[in-house]
Structure 1
Amino acid sequence: MFYLRWLSLALVMILLFPFQVLASDSSLNLHSEAVILLDAKSGQVLYEKNSKVKMYPASITKIITGIMAIESGRLDEEATTSKRARWAEGTRIYLAQDEKKPLHDLVYGLMMNSGNDAAIVIAEHLGGTVENFAEQMNAFVNEKIGNNESNFVNPHGLFAENHYTTAYDMAMIARYAMKNPMFREIVSTKRRVWHGAEWESHLVNHNKLLWRYDGATGIKNGYVTQSGNTLVSSATRGGMDLIVVALKAQGSEKVYADTIQLFDYAFEQFDTRRLFSKGKRWVAEDGKAWEAIEDVFLTVKKGDSISYKVQDNGDVLAATGGKKQMITGKLVGIEDKMAESTLSLGPKEEARSVEESSERSSQLFLLGITGLLFFILAGAWMWWRKASDKSKKAS
């Protein structure tokens, strides 16, 4: 009993100085061959599996075609349906040959109803030919997003051996596209009236997540035999914007199940925290003034505190949960003595430098280990003394 009392005391010491354990990802049971979970605001990857393995994208290719059409500034122009577009394979919005439609309407048909004919009309209108537009697609993603592991040879995603991407690349493309208000509006639209020369109907968004998941905001699903089921999705809850890419699931229900599981995991486990607001001026401890050129976000495990330090070049070195991350290109130095000298990171949370936070954590850890060892050794020694005294009396 004496020894058990000391063991209980040792366990109390462990509780006083706990190790920080992140939630295990082993609970995720995913069917898709490649997935990625991304915080759209901070850009941080929260989970990934084979995210940089080359895969066939299918119709999620249309995300690029759609954002390029929107950014062209030519949405009011009327585009004419060619014979090639009229006889497009796969899913169509049944455009008639020589039918004219505003580019704006075609983007809705492209993203909601996955019209391969709409994709060809857009490509031919903006690029002259499908082949020229495909070259523009690759230039676009490299220039705007910096993707280096993808190659696109058509605007719709029908299978081609040299038409491939990665889950990571598609997440970055989706993150970029979702910053555009018109793109967000189109991919979140569930139903829309369609007036065509040969087809009078309603466009119904093929992305079932819009009906199934609270907070879903887009984006695009796809399927061809070689790619399996693919899905790029976005969802917003409590100020947190997430993007999930799931590639090559064998069945549409499986790709949706994977996506919902990843969304649930992120919303339950993480928070998005704003470190700096765009235009906010702030003075560091060394007296140097800075201004945020855009909002600065950090994704943290729920309950974790944040510490940070502004580097001499304006990068922000942030630490949370025992991990450090560099946030680059967000702050610029200014001459402003009126800038605020404090930064609130949340209720009852004190901002400290990364070095101070790390040093404090190390001190607490060492103190806890030292105390624990002391109580264990002391307990063992006293138990040995008591057992030795009993042995002497018995003899």
Structure 2
Amino acid sequence: MRKFLALFMLLLISAYSFNGLVKAESGDPVLTSEAAVLMDTQSGAILFGKNEETMMYPASLTKIATAIYAIETADLDELVVVSEEIENIDGTRVYLNPGEQVSLRKLIQGMLINSGNDAALAIAIHLDGSLESYSKNINEFLESDIGVEDTHFVNPHGLFDENHYTTAKDLGLILNYAMNNPDFREIFGTKQLEWDGESWDTTILSHHRMLKGEIPYEGVTGGKTGFVDQSKQTLATTADNGQLKLTAILLKSEYKRKIYEDTIKLFDYGFTAFKTSQISKGETFTNGNLKFKASKDLLLTEPIEKGKRVVDKDGILRIENEDGEIIQSIELKPLIGKKPEVKKTAPEPKQSGLLSVNTILGAVVIVAAAGLWMVNRKQKKSRRYRSR
């Protein structure tokens, strides 16, 4: 009996271990970065998250927000007179001089490609007059236009401030929004640029090692790095394999090498497991007798294998994986069909009260006449009998 129990426990443990091994091998990426998110750049679907809604310090990934805010607020060809406030800025610079006149486009290039903090500050002062006004306006822009929920920026460059924070999810939303703009996409994907400034004449290079090709990965379309002591390494990257476009945000990694490894893991996972599909405007879906349709052309992110589409009674289309986890939800429009035509028939004419009374009186007269006839007949018979 003991041998049987021992053998049973051994088999049970082996089976459990095997299942755990399979799950580990086929499951989500294991990352060293403290927070991360992988999103479909086009549909916005979150394909992987790790502490994606936890408040973090973004460092220079802030400049992604500053760039798209500037692009959508002002004319890129307008000249900016560089403020004197840039003289005391810390960190990476493009060595602007106070009073130097530079186009807004060039400042955005210097900020995104070379991560120039002086360029970021010059942009903010030019757009809003002060850091206080910049902070108020960009936070309103991020909330109203992009839909962030847990972001608060107090500067345009990301130098540390305890009141300057965001989340991996919000940064993904910001970058996805920005990637819809062709001017942003062009600058975000630039590897190097000739820089001809008053005090600095050079070729500026992107700091993003995957974008430059130092860490090869096919399909990388853009990137931004960040670092301050409190945030550690931060990294934003976009990639496109021709069938799917991905956005990866990694926050708070101790080492540069590790944050790039994490990014590659996310891209490998995304490109292997997911695909982009399209629903055409007017395409219909059902739930029992209920019918719904897409009100416009829509992009879906679906598992390459074992995914399913589920429509609930409220017309919410859910894209689920094999475990029933929701990848994306889309609201459909109720499809209201034509009501069947009911043939109208002429109503029967209503009888008037007078007609009803006449009918009753006629019946009474007939009954009375019949009664009189019967009485009269009996009387005649009686007289005949008496005469005999």
| TM-score by shorter chain over 0.5 | yes
Matches within 5 A, 1:1-395: 24=25, 28-210=29-211, 211=213, 212=215, 213-268=217-272, 270-277=273-280, 280-284=281-285, 290-300=293-303, 302-309=304-311, 313=315, 315-323=316-324, 325=326, 331-332=332-333
> CA 1:247–1:131 in 2, change beyond 3 Å: closer, same or farther?
same
Larger Rg over CA atoms? 2
Task: Spell out, residue by residue over 1:215-272, the C-alpha distance to the aligned partner (whole angstroms, 9 max, x if none).
Answer: 111121100111111001111113111111111111222211111121112222x122
TM-score by length of 2: 0.73
Q: Is the 8 A contact 2:45 2:328 kept in 1?
A: no
Aligned to 1:340: none
Alpha-carbon offset, residue 96 of structure 1: 1.1
SS in 2 for 1:281: coil
1 CA distance for matches of 2:324 and 2:28?
22
Contact 2:146–2:174, Cα closer than 8 Å, also in 1: yes
Q: Deviations over 1:301-349 (max 9, x none)?
A: x322433437555x32344424264855654467899xxxxxxxxxxxx
Q: Which moved more, 1:65-74 or 1:81-90?
A: 81-90
Q: 1:311 to 1:77 in 2, by over 3 A?
A: farther
SS in 2 for 1:223: strand
Partner amino acid for 2:158? Answer: G
Q: SS of the residue aligned with 1:307?
A: strand
The one-character-per-residue Cα deviations of 1:98-125 (angstroms, maximum 9, x if unpaired) are 0011111111111101010110111011
Query: Closer, same or farther in 2 for the Cα pair 1:37/1:283, shift >3 Å?
Result: closer
Contact 1:63 1:174 in 2 (8 A): yes
Can you list the C-alpha shifts for 1:198-217, whole angstroms capped at 9, x where unaligned?
11111211111111321111
Amino acid at match of 2:229: T
User: Which amino acid is the alignment partner of residue 84 of structure 1?
Assistant: E
The structure-2 alpha-carbon separation of the partners of 1:46 and 1:202, relative to structure 1 and needing over 3 Å to count, comes to same
Distance in 2 (alpha carbons) for counterparts of 1:178 and 1:143: 18
Q: 1:201 & 1:70 partners in 2: Cα distance?
A: 25
Task: Give the C-alpha shift of residue 47 in structure 1.
Answer: 2.0
Aligned partners of 1:36 and 1:245 also within 8 Å: yes
Distance 1:53 1:308, change over 3 A: closer
Secondary structure in 2 matching 1:323: coil
Distance change in 2, residues 1:125/1:47 (3 Å) = same
Partner Cα distance (1:334, 1:324) in 2: 27
Partner of 1:349: none
C-alpha distance in structure 1 between counterparts of 2:300 and 2:23, whole Å: 20
Partner letter of residue 100 of structure 1?
Q
Contact 1:189 1:205 in 2 (8 A): yes
Measure, in 2, the Cα distance between the counterparts of 1:327 and 1:63: 25
1:24 CA drift (Å): 4.6
Unmatched segments (≥5 aa) in structure 2: 1-21, 339-388
The amino acid of 1:221's aligned partner reads T
How far is the alpha carbon of 1:143 from its aligned partner? 1.0
In structure 2, how many angstroms separate the alpha carbons of the residues matched to 1:53 and 1:324?
A: 21
Taking a change above 3 Å as real, the CA distance of residues 238 and 321 of structure 1, as seen in their structure-2 partners, is farther
Aligned length, in residue pairs: 312
Deviating 4+ runs (over 6 angstroms): 334-337
- 1:271 to 1:328, Cα distance in 2 relative to 1, 3 A: closer
Superposition CA RMSD, Å: 2.5
Query: TM-score of the superposition, structure 1-length normalised?
Result: 0.72
Q: 2:359 corresponds to which residue?
A: none
Q: Which amino acid aligns with 2:52?
A: S
SS of the residue corresponding to residue 220 of structure 1 reads strand
> How much does 1:35 deviate?
1.5
- Displacement of 1:135 in angstroms is 1.4
User: Alpha-carbon deviation of 1:90?
Assistant: 0.6
Where 1:97 maps in the other structure, the secondary structure is coil
